[in-house]
Amino acid sequence: MNKNTDRVVLAYSGGLDTSVAIGWIAEQTGREVVTVSVDVGQGGEDLDVIRQRALDCGAVEAYIADARDEFATDYCMPALKANALYEGAYPLVSALSRPVIAKHLVRAAREFGASTVAHGCTGKGNDQVRFEVAITSMAPDMDCLSPVRDLALTRDVAIEYAEKHSLPIETTKHNPFSIDQNAWGRAVETGFLEDLWNAPTKDVYTYTDDPTYPPLPDEVIITFKEGLPVAIDGAAVTPLQAIQELNRRGGAQGIGRIDMVEDRLVGIKSREIYEAPGAVILIEAHRALEAVTLERLQRRYKRQIEQTWGELVYEAQWYSPLKRSLDAFIEDTQHYVSGDIRMVLHGGRATVNGRRSESGLYDFNLATYDSGDTFDQSSSRGFIEIYGMQPKLAAARAERLGEGEGF
């Protein structure tokens, strides 16, 4: 066999399913397996430990990528500029990480001579779509494979396989939840959460403390330049550092807990618990600064674009032509989004209480009702006459035809 086209690249987390998948794929397809582990700020085990586990489980190569800054800068920051919240609540925690992981999967496939890319997703979730659409959008010649979906690798089979082959992976500890996490946030599902009436228990949360008993209020000033956070309390930060710092401070106040039922791409409604303190704080601050700096019609239209942008990213269209076009519009809107936002973090809430911007459209002398007011109030009468002309004519017509409302 030609090894240049005979390998499978596997997205590898180091857990039971993907560890078993290494040998399972080899047995079922006769191909060598190269694993790819991408650090997007998920924490947990050291990637060098995960790399060695992959080799011990039978991988011929184990590729490691530190993509934390790349993820924060090239994926989370566009989402921030878009104020992206799927269905008004979900800050796209997992949806944002899949395109960058897919990028490294394709890069490894090219480097190690693989024609197929595999992932550990099931056939019921969004992530199978996100991975495979992203992969084929970058590499249309690549094939995609899901051991769980395509090769009947169920959990009970995985446990039996791991025990039979003495794989260096824990198989007896039972975690009732399915968890995905990265620098932008944390997603939790399944287990007792599938009963919509069950409230989350304390063990569901890791990124956030209980907001019922918060510490003293924490005031923070976030400085933006052209839509990006560049300093916190006057100290310069990278996008990753901004997210990490606000995750820490917001998490201590219990900010960013989200409990929602969302519409999955595959047509299933799913109950999800999210923790995203940094994302929630940054989006709230960014929105507040846009309220000061964006022109009215531009801001109004951008809100429509934001919803579409979030839906596209959620629905696996990161690399689509429409997403690319919307990116250009959103980027253009950020030219004047610079300044400082002051917020109080406390008891699960991030509350804006101060705004300042050299590029803002707020004019104190126009807005004030006190002396020094420069607004010419006499102009308003003519404005109202013109603005209300069409509904006035429509009302007169209805009365003339006997169709009036009868006030």
Annotated binding site: 11-19, 90, 120, 122, 126-127, 130, 178, 262, 274
CA distance 304 to 307: 5
Quick check: is 74 catalytic? Answer: no
CA distance 224 to 248: 19
Give the annotated binding-site residues for ATP.
11-19, 120
Read off φ and ψ for residue 135, nearest 5 degrees. Answer: -65, -50
Catalytic residue among 115, 137, 143, 178: 178
Catalytic residue among 17, 94, 209, 257: 17
Give the annotated binding-site residues for L-aspartate.
122, 126-127
Catalytic residue among 127, 146, 209, 257: 127
Give the annotated binding-site residues for L-citrulline.
90, 126, 130, 178, 262, 274
Three-state DSSP class for residue 36? strand
Quick check: is 178 catalytic? Answer: yes
Identity at 78, one-letter amino acid code = P
Is residue 183 a contact partner of residue 243, using CB atoms and an 8 Å limit?
A: yes
Is residue 318 a contact partner of residue 326, using CB atoms and an 8 Å limit?
A: no
Is residue 349 a contact partner of residue 285, using CB atoms and an 8 Å limit?
A: no
Read off φ and ψ for residue 117, nearest 5 degrees. Answer: -115, 130
DSSP secondary structure code for residue 266 in this structure = T
Quick check: is 17 catalytic? Answer: yes
Catalytic residue among 98, 186, 249, 257: 98
Quick check: is 97 catalytic? Answer: no
Taking the chain, what is the end-to-end CA distance rounded to the nearest angstrom?
85
CA distance 117 to 109: 7
Positions marked active-site: 17, 98, 127, 178
